[in-house]
């Protein structure tokens, strides 16, 4: 499912087509050299866009994508190489491969299928890793595939040049493939999967807590990006006619990554800008590399001028524009405001069914190394009830909430929804079962709009049914529908807190956990929030568990309160009763009165 508005889609497709077709006509009019440069540019752009599909959307930089390009090149070349040449140069090829001689299109398609398969296998393992561990693993992939290519001499000719590949890639083949790659990458970026992955890039914990399966989305992007790399590799092999394993190793990884970094990883606009800048710079520096005459001074040849120049450009980009030339938005997103958030439906979130189950926790214990942060805490929360969880700083409130929402696995004890065991499940599974939450340290997806923040949650729960309506209803409930098109990272503190609650509400939860929802709000904002929360409970029947230090809020809003001190539950009951308990006065406020 694609979330791109028709206006954005048409604008981007039109510009891709005009740029590619226009440049191809100009280059073919200028001469063979220009045609060659543009063909290589298109092939490189497919690879840059391919890398961007994974790295840009997931936030995990990959050094290994050239491996897929290499596999695509060798696989397609082996399928198109003339049979007689295979017999002469690769006599030990298996019979079925030795006798096969396909055209470029069929060979490329088969190479893409092979690479997709390899990418699934590798991606399943890689998906378990986060951040720099994942990045380093992709480097391992590059080195392993390079090693196999060199070692598998009977098939690849080892470190020697693999030659005789029919030179069938011309400017127009490259142009068509590039156009398809750009369209695929643009559609992916604003697909349901792309949006979920970008949410996970901004904040993986929050994405999981609204039902996003980040590993699955990463795998999908990984495979799509590998297929685009293979397409680039197949075209390159049939453009060059001869190549060796080093074509798919560090040097080209550096060039392609520099395009992505300089242009900006997150957008197709960035991939195109980076590819244009680095290609132009390479062409200029290559001419200067062999030395030049400045009239009075003769500059001698300086080996490595191109790499040094590009390295400097990367440094400059990191200092001046760390998000790349294009930034975080596509050009058409900057130009035309999204209309997705318009057209408010007269709809509200559905009322919780009367037979909705209660959540109970039995004898929860949480140890962090030697520290026992929570000791034997039991509690229940019913739909329609507002339960306050209070206690001094460090008493274990957030830790309890983390265990009740699957963010942390208890060291001991159980979490049950009616009689169903939730212990051992992750936060995504909790969200799927109707338990949504906000965080003490706001965890919005800062690079997405407010609407997209909430939409991700709606799309990832209840099978995405009525996602748009749920999104708008949640935004209306929190009085922030007018901020829908703003970037979430630009909101005021209070609006960010409301945005987080709206995102949790879009999951259509039966139970809602709020960790210090009024922190940073002034009195008036806190009172408004109190009114909204009361209505959520009475109108919709949502059960609310709330941690807060604002005792006025807790006393006025909560039906019941439980108090923790040093990880232990020390009191439980009606707010008026609890505040009079000596243990609470002693532990929570010293000797003064609550």
Ligand X SMILES: Nc1ncnc2c1ncn2[C@@H]1O[C@H](COP(=O)(O)OP(=O)(O)OP(=O)(O)O)[C@@H](O)[C@H]1O
Catalog residues that contact ligand X under the rule CB under 6 A: 368, 371, 373, 391, 393-399, 440
- Count of helix runs (H) and strand runs (E) in the chain: 25, 12
Whose tokens are 């400059």? That residue is 316
Query: Cβ 549 to ligand X, closest distance in Å?
Result: 7
Q: How far apart are CA 433 and CA 402, in angstroms?
A: 16
Nearer to ligand X, 15 or 204 (CB): 204
Shortest Cβ distance from residue 366 to ligand X (Å)?
8
Minimum Å distance from CB 516 to ligand X?
A: 7
**Residue 507 · residue 431 · CB < 8 Å:** yes
Ramachandran sector of residue 350 (left: φ over 0; alpha: ψ -120 to 50; beta: rest): beta
Say if CB 72 and CB 203 are below 8 A apart.
no
Q: How far is the CB of 318 from ligand X (least distance, A)?
A: 31
**Minimal distance, residue 371 CB to ligand X, in Å:** 6
- Closest approach of Cβ 453 to ligand X, in Å? 23
Q: Cβ closer to ligand X: 205 or 315?
A: 205
| Least Cβ distance, residue 566 to ligand X (angstroms) | 9
Q: Is the dihedral of CA 86, 87, 91, 96 positive or negative?
A: positive
Min dist. Cβ of residue 592 to ligand X (A): 18
Q: In the complex with ligand X, which residue's Cβ is closer, 37 or 519?
A: 519
Q: Write down the least CB distance from residue 180 to ligand X, Å.
A: 46
Nearer to ligand X, 201 or 397 (CB): 397
CB-wise, 506 or 564, nearer to ligand X?
A: 564
How many angstroms separate the Cα of 461 from the Cα of each of 102, 381, 431, 434, 505?
46, 21, 7, 8, 11
User: Which residue, 441 or 592, has its beta carbon nearer to ligand X?
Assistant: 441
Q: Residue 371 and residue 361: Cα distance in Å, rounded?
A: 21
- Pick between residue 203 and residue 399 the one whose CB is nearest to ligand X: 399
Polymer length of the chain: 594
Q: What are the beta bridge partners of residue 314?
A: none
In the complex, what is the shortest distance from the CB of residue 251 to ligand X, in angstroms, rounded to a whole number? 43
Nearer to ligand X, 144 or 205 (CB): 205
- CB contact burial 159-185 (16+ within 10 A = b; e otherwise): eeebebbbebbebebbbebbbebbbbb
588 vs 565: CA distance, rounded Å: 7
CB-nearer residue toward ligand X: 123 or 517? 517
Closer to ligand X by Cβ: residue 393 or 592? 393
Nearest to 285 by CA among 305, 314, 259: 305
Least Cβ distance, residue 517 to ligand X (angstroms): 13
* CA–CA distances in Å: residue 572 to residues 378, 402, 514, 563, 584: 11, 20, 19, 6, 10
Which is closer to ligand X, CB of 372 or CB of 425?
372
Is residue 368 classed as helix, strand or coil in its secondary structure? strand
CA distance 99 to 89: 13
d(CA 75, CA 111): 5
Cα-based distances in Å from 139 to 57, 132, 199? 19, 11, 25
């Amino acid at each position: 499912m694609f979330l791109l508005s028709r206006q954005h889609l048409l604008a981007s497709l039109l510009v891709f087509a005009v740029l590619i077709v226009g440049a191809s006509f100009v280059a073919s009019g200028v001469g063979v050299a220009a045609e060659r440069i543009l063909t290589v540019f298109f092939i490189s752009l497919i690879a840059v866009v391919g890398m961007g599909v994974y790295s840009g959307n997931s936030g995990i930089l990959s050094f290994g994508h050239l491996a897929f390009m290499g596999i695509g090149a060798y696989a397609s070349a082996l399928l198109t190489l003339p049979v007689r040449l295979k017999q002469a140069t690769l006599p030990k090829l298996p019979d079925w491969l030795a006798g096969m001689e396909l055209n470029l299109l069929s060979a490329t398609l088969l190479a893409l299928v092979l690479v997709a398969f390899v990418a699934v296998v590798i991606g399943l393992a890689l998906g378990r890793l986060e951040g720099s561990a994942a990045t380093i693993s992709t480097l391992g992939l590059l080195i392993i595939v390079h090693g196999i290519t060199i070692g598998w001499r009977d098939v690849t000719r080892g470190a020697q040049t693999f030659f005789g590949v029919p030179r069938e890639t011309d400017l127009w083949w490259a142009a068509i493939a590039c156009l398809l790659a750009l369209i695929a990458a643009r559609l992916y970026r604003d697909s349901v999967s792309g949006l979920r992955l970008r949410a996970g890039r901004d904040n993986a914990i929050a994405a999981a807590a609204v039902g996003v399966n980040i590993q699955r989305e990463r795998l999908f992007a990984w495979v799509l990006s590998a297929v685009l790399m293979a397409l680039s590799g197949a075209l390159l092999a049939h453009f060059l006619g001869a190549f060796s394993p080093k074509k798919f190793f560090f040097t080209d990884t550096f060039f392609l990554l520099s395009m992505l970094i300089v242009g900006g990883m997150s957008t197709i606009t960035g991939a195109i800008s980076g590819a244009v800048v680095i290609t132009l710079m390479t062409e200029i520096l290559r001419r200067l590399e062999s030395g030049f005459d400045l009239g009075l001074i003769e500059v001698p040849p300086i080996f490595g001028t191109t790499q040094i120049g590009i390295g400097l450009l990367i440094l400059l980009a990191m200092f001046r524009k760390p998000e790349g030339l294009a930034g975080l938005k596509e050009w058409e997103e900057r130009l035309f405001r999204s209309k997705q958030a318009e057209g408010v439906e007269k709809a509200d979130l559905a009322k919780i069914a009367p037979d909705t189950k209660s959540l109970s926790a039995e004898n929860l214990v949480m140890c962090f190394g030697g520290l026992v942060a929570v000791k034997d805490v039991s509690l229940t929360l019913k739909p329609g009830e507002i339960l306050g969880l209070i206690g001094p700083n460090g008493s274990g409130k957030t830790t309890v909430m983390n265990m009740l929402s699957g963010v942390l696995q208890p060291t001991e004890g159980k979490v049950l929804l009616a009689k169903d065991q939730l212990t051992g499940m992750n936060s995504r599974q909790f969200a799927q079962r109707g338990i949504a939450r906000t965080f003490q340290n706001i965890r919005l997806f800062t690079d997405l709009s407010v609407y997209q923040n909430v939409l991700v949650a709606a799309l990832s729960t209840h099978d995405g049914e009525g996602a748009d309506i749920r999104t708008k209803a949640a935004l209306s409930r929190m009085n922030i529908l007018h901020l829908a098109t703003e970037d979430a990272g630009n909101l005021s503190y209070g609006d960010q807190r409301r945005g987080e609650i709206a995102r949790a509400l879009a999951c259509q939860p039966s139970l809602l956990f709020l960790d210090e929802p009024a922190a940073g709000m002034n009195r008036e904002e806190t009172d408004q929030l109190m009114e909204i929360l009361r209505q959520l409970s009475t109108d919709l029947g949502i059960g609310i568990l709330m941690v807060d230090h604002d005792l006025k809020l807790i006393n006025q809003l909560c039906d019941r309160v439980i108090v923790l001190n040093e990880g232990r539950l020390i009191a439980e009951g009606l707010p008026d009763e609890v505040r009079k308990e000596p243990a609470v006065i002693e532990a929570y406020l010293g000797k003064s009165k609550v």
